[in-house]
Structure 1
Amino acid sequence: MSETAAFPVIQTERLVLREIVERDAEQILAMHGDPELMRWFGTDPLKDLAAARALVKRFASWRLDENPGARWGIQVREQPGLLGTCGLFRWDRNWRKCMIGYELATHAQKQGFMRETLTAVMTWGFAQMALNRIEAMVHPDNLGSLKLLRQLGFVDEGCLRQVGYWGGRYHDMLQLSLLRSEWPAANTD
């Protein structure tokens, strides 16, 4: 991924996963400014539109970093607006691994959108980034996310004690991973 390469748009049965752009800042603020939704994200909620615009720029900068990645906006086909975001980041090309992170607006949860998104993004990552491993760090109380990742084949690797800090306190995080050999869609060559 580089500055000159076109952003990798991914289409699924119901969704378009596309670049997050400046016009999405208000919706990013609605999600990333929601304390309930952000309780698992690993950062304090955004306070204003300027912070949301800065986050949009940070997501765009991942494509230029030494350890790049991509953050997709999740949109229902033929409908304006974002349901959430999903990203592959901290790409270590030498070790062929990266992290995955995501969030989904409260109104869009429990409809299979994140499963559809993760399936498409991970398939793309194994194929286009030549990944061998995708890692996820999840708060132990984020039962919905843990359930989804485990259903998709992620394996628990352990607890990272007090590795996170947001909301004025330290948080443990569970480390999970998925290997290329465990992802059927990556092995259809």
Structure 2
Amino acid sequence: MTAFPTLHTQRLYLRELVASDAPAVFAIHSDADSMRWFGADPMIDLAQAQALIETFAHWRTQSNPGTRWGIELEGELVGSCGLFKWNRGWNSCALAFELAPGARGKGLMGEALRGMLDWGIAYMHLHRVEALVHPHNNASLRLLERLGFKFEGTLREAGCWGGQRHDLKVLGLLGREWTNK
């Protein structure tokens, strides 16, 4: 992939995550309530946040690359969203996202995902985007449905975090269905 694709929406700046974002990433990822749906145990030290930022940067060098944007509102990092596991032959990928507790309920993630999906469909030529969501993560399920994602099934015990196995719902969006709702 080429230079990092920065994106702008009405209120947000979607940009590359950098080392100086580690404290904000740690604040989000160390919050047990936030991580109960993320698919990972809460972070316990800043080094884990630094390693996660490095992992996201490394995604762009993989044969099936991914891009993870930091979501910035008024100069503050409030979350991230990304497209990953890009299969160029199938024109498909997965998406994931998280938002700081204080930024929820303001329509920010919907705005960020619209910008990201516009970019992915235009520049990655995506035919399909899928999301795996915990069945009890109602806020994410509603958001994805508002964006046009359709429920396709359940992957039984596909996730493992918090010392437990978790079912995951599969939702998919086809490029031809995308209307930037």
Q: TM-score range by the shorter chain?
A: over 0.9
Give the superposition deviation at 1:66: 1.2
Identity of aligned residues (%): 51
The letter of the residue matching 1:23 is: S
SS in 2 for 1:83: strand
The residue identity in structure 2 corresponding to 1:74 is I
Corresponding residue of 1:67: 64
Tell me how large the CA RMSD over aligned residues is.
Answer: 0.7
- Which position in structure 2 is the counterpart of 1:124? 119
SS at match of 2:76: coil
Q: Is the 8 A contact 1:24 1:81 kept in 2?
A: no
Tell me if structure 2 keeps the 8 A contact 1:83–1:104.
yes
- Aligned with residue 99 of structure 1, among 79, 94, 99: 94
Amino acid at match of 2:134: H
Write the letter of the residue equivalent to 1:85: S
Are 2:106 and 1:111 aligned?
yes
Name segments (4+ residues, structure 1) moved above 6 Å. none
1:184 and 1:116 map into 2 onto residues whose CA distance is 13
- Indicate the residue corresponding to 2:162 in structure 1: 167
Distance 2:61 2:102 in 1: 32
TM-score normalised by the chain length of structure 2:
0.98
- 1:98 maps to a residue whose letter is C
* Cα drift, residue 13 of structure 1: 0.6
Q: Superposed, which structure 2 residues align to 1:1-189 within 5 Å?
A: 1=1, 5-76=2-73, 79-185=74-180
C-alpha separation in 2, matches of 1:177 and 1:36: 26
Shift of residue 81, structure 1, vs aligned partner: 2.1
Any idea what SS the aligned residue of 2:151 has? strand
- Letter of the structure 2 residue corresponding to residue 63 of structure 1: R
Deviation, 1:130, is 0.8
Structure 1 residues not aligned, in runs of 5+: none
> 1:99 Cα deviation (Å)?
0.3
- Structure 1 residue 184: Cα displacement: 2.0
Residues 6-59 of structure 1, C-alpha deviations (whole Å, 9 max, x = no match): 110000010000000000000000001111000000011111011110000000
State how far apart, in whole Å, the 2-side matches of 1:34 and 1:179 are. 33
- Aligned with 2:169: secondary structure? strand
Q: SS of the residue aligned with 1:82?
A: strand
CA distance in 1, matches of 2:92, 2:29: 26
Cα distance, 1:80 vs structure 2: 2.3
Q: Distance in 1 between matches of 2:48 and 2:178?
A: 36
Cα distance in 2 for residues equivalent to 1:57 and 1:81: 20
